């Protein structure tokens, strides 16, 4: 919370857009602002009404450098925007640096994300220390279509204004913590000796020589990738990582997304009945890649570039009682399967599970 | 992905750190350098405050991770004090 716990005394607030950035269409700016306001009105009893011709509670403007509020902007990058805590006159106002490259997507700074953050200040929130929160001070891109207000921000704003009037209270995503015993993963892959654990909007990146895992947004490295990647594997021979979501896949060549992606998974030979891949790993010694889907698996020949005959087979027939697989990867001759908070170490030489562990055992907890 | 950082001018680094902490952590501007000799340098303490806020290793020194955060685009509202 902002020091002194400032808040608006009314729930029906007004806003006014004083000017527009020349880099975006006015309709796109209006849409970004309306969507940013709805981020907060969806989880509280607050409402926002647009007015045109008089002083509003929240005045939104694009300004440059010294704009007479004792907090000058600094040109492109650096400071993107600021906003004032609830109060009279300048209180609640949002100022956006008009020397930034504002966009409605991820090419420049996404206007919706920045305004949604600033409106948090306009309503009385301070910065959060949760790196996944909207109110974290540094900019991180999320596709507006995939944006969900994190739980940390919901908890903060509801502590000030109370819960939403909706019959079902909204909930939001939480930031994964490496040592959370309940942590599960969407997908896991090796990448040039490192391990990448995918979870929602995040990657937990574990370097073998570093004790702590690094938490980053997927979008920080690969802005064009969606969140909630469902499967991933590294083809060490080709120095490629394949990433899957729904019926699409992307190829990372080295650290960069290769041009021409996403492509359809049906190009790999899956039948049209398959809608997504749950997990995958590639065996570097045989050149075979294993895809896990529900209770079955497919085998793909990386050299022939086609699915092997005789598949799918039941997972339980060849890998034991590991259930459905959320994520898998191969490392040092073993295959590791993840199911919920449980991890199975599988030895392909003897074709059996040799160890059972917690899913987050790779982090030094 | 991080690449090996180029050697940066130490003066520029100190200026970046001071400006960042003045803007967002209420580090007072040192207008009287002769007084500073007799007083405790508040910069390492402010740096520790910033490192703790961002979940970095708290060293009080401008290490690479700390500088990386300081160079990120961000909101102009200070992280720890009232914005008036």
Contacts of A83 in chain B (CB under 8 A): 77
**pLDDT surpasses 80 at B35:** no
Q: What is the DSSP letter of A138?
A: B
Token pair belonging to A5: 């716990």
Q: Are B79 and A127 in contact (CB under 8 A)?
A: yes
A226: nearest Cα among A180, A191, A176, A261: A261
What is the pLDDT, as a whole number, of residue A116? 98
Please state, as a whole number, how many other Cβ atoms lie within 10 Å of the Cβ of residue A309: 6
- A241 in contact with B, Cβ within 8 Å: no
Rg (CA), chain B: 14
Phi, psi of B15 (to 5 degrees): -65, -40
Question: How far apart (Å, rounded) are the C-alpha atoms in residues A38 and A154?
Answer: 13
Q: Cβ B73–A81 below 8 Å, yes or no?
A: no
Q: What is the ipTM for the molecules in this complex?
A: 0.84
What lies within 8 Å, CB to CB, of A283 at 6+ separation is A289, A290, A330, A335, A348
What is the pLDDT, as a whole number, of residue B83? 44
Q: Cβ A71–B55 below 8 Å, yes or no?
A: no
* A73, A126, A221 ranked by CB distance to B1: nearest: A221
- Indicate the average pLDDT of chain B: 82
Rg (CA), chain A: 24
What lies within 8 Å, CB to CB, of A167 at 6+ separation is none
Q: Cβ A139–B74 below 8 Å, yes or no?
A: yes
pLDDT tens-digit profile, chain A (365 residues): 888 889 999 999 999 999 999 999 999 999 999 999 999 999 999 999 999 999 999 999 999 999 999 999 999 999 999 999 999 999 999 999 999 999 999 999 999 999 999 999 999 999 999 999 999 999 999 899 989 999 999 999 999 999 999 999 999 999 999 999 999 999 999 999 999 999 999 999 999 888 889 999 998 899 889 999 999 999 999 999 999 999 999 999 988 999 999 999 999 999 999 999 999 999 989 999 999 999 999 999 999 999 999 999 999 999 999 989 999 999 999 999 999 999 999 999 999 999 999 999 999 88
* CA torsion angle B5 B9 B12 B16 (round to 10): 30
In DSSP terms, A330 is beta-bridged to A335
Contacts of B68 in chain A (CB under 8 A): none
| Start-to-end CA span in chain A (Å) | 31
Among chain A residues, CA nearest to B54: A129
Q: Are A216 and A205 in contact (CB under 8 A)?
A: yes
A97: nearest Cα among A145, A62, A59: A62
- B69 in contact with A, Cβ within 8 Å: yes
Please state, as a whole number, how many other Cβ atoms lie within 10 Å of the Cβ of residue A312: 18
Q: What is the pLDDT of residues A196-213, one digit of tens each?
A: 999 999 999 999 888 889
Question: How far apart (Å, rounded) are the C-alpha atoms in residues A123 and A15?
Answer: 12
Mutate to test the interface with A, among B19, B74, B78 (most CBs of A within 10 A): B74
Q: Name the residue with tokens 């294993």.
A: A290
What is the pLDDT, as a whole number, of residue A345? 97
| DSSP-assigned states of every residue in A97-114 | ETTS-EESSSSSEEHHHH
| DSSP-assigned states of every residue in B7-67 | PPPHHHHHHHHHHHHHHHS-PPP---HHHHTTS---HHHHHHHHHHHTT----SS--HHHH
* A77, A82, A83 ranked by CB distance to B73: nearest: A77
Q: Are B47 and B53 in contact (CB under 8 A)?
A: no
């Amino acid at each position: 919370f902002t020091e002194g716990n400032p808040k608006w005394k009314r729930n029906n607030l007004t806003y006014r857009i004083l000017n527009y950035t020349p880099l975006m269409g006015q309709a796109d700016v209006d849409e970004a602002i309306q969507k940013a306001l709805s981020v907060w009105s969806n989880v509280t009893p607050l409402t926002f009404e647009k007015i045109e011709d008089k002083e509003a509670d929240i005045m939104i403007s694009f300004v440059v450098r010294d704009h007479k509020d004792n907090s000058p902007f600094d040109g492109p990058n650096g400071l993107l925007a600021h906003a004032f805590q609830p109060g009279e006159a300048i209180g609640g106002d949002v100022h956006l640096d008009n020397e930034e490259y504002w966009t409605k997507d991820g090419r420049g700074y996404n206007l919706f994300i920045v305004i949604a953050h600033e409106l948090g200040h306009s309503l009385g929130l301070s910065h959060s220390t949760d790196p996944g929160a909207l109110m974290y001070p540094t900019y991180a891109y999320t596709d507006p279509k995939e944006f969900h207000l994190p739980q940390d921000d919901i908890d903060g704003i509801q502590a000030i204004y109370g819960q939403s009037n909706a019959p079902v209270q909204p909930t939001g995503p939480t930031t994964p913590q490496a040592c959370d015993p309940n942590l599960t993963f969407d997908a896991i892959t090796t990448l040039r000796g490192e391990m990448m654990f995918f979870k929602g909007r995040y990657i937990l990146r574990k370097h073998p020589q570093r004790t702590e895992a690094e938490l980053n947004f997927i979008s920080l490295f690969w802005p064009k990738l969606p969140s909630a990647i469902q499967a991933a594997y590294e083809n060490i021979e080709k120095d490629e990582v394949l990433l899957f979501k729904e019926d699409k896949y992307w190829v990372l060549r080295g650290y960069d997304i290769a041009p021409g992606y996403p492509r359809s998974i049906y190009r790999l030979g899956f039948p049209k009945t398959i809608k997504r891949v749950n997990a995958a790993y590639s065996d570097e010694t045989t050149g075979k890649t294993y895809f896990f889907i529900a209770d079955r698996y497919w085998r793909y020949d990386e050299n022939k570039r086609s699915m092997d005959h005789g598949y799918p087979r039941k997972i339980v027939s060849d890998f034991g009682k590991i259930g459905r697989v959320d994520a898998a990867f191969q490392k040092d001759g073993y295959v590791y399967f993840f199911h919920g908070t449980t991890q199975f170490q599988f030895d392909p030489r003897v074709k059996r599970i040799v160890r059972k562990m917690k899913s987050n055992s790779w982090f030094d907890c | 992905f991080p690449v090996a950082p180029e050697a940066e001018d130490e003066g520029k680094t100190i200026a970046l750190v001071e400006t960042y902490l003045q803007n967002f952590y209420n580090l007072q501007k040192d207008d009287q350098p002769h007084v500073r000799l007799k007083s405790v340098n508040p910069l390492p303490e402010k740096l520790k405050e910033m490192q703790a806020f961002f979940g970095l290793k708290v060293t009080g020194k401008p290490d690479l991770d700390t500088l990386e955060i300081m160079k990120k685009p961000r909101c102009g509202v200070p992280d720890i004090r009232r914005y008036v």
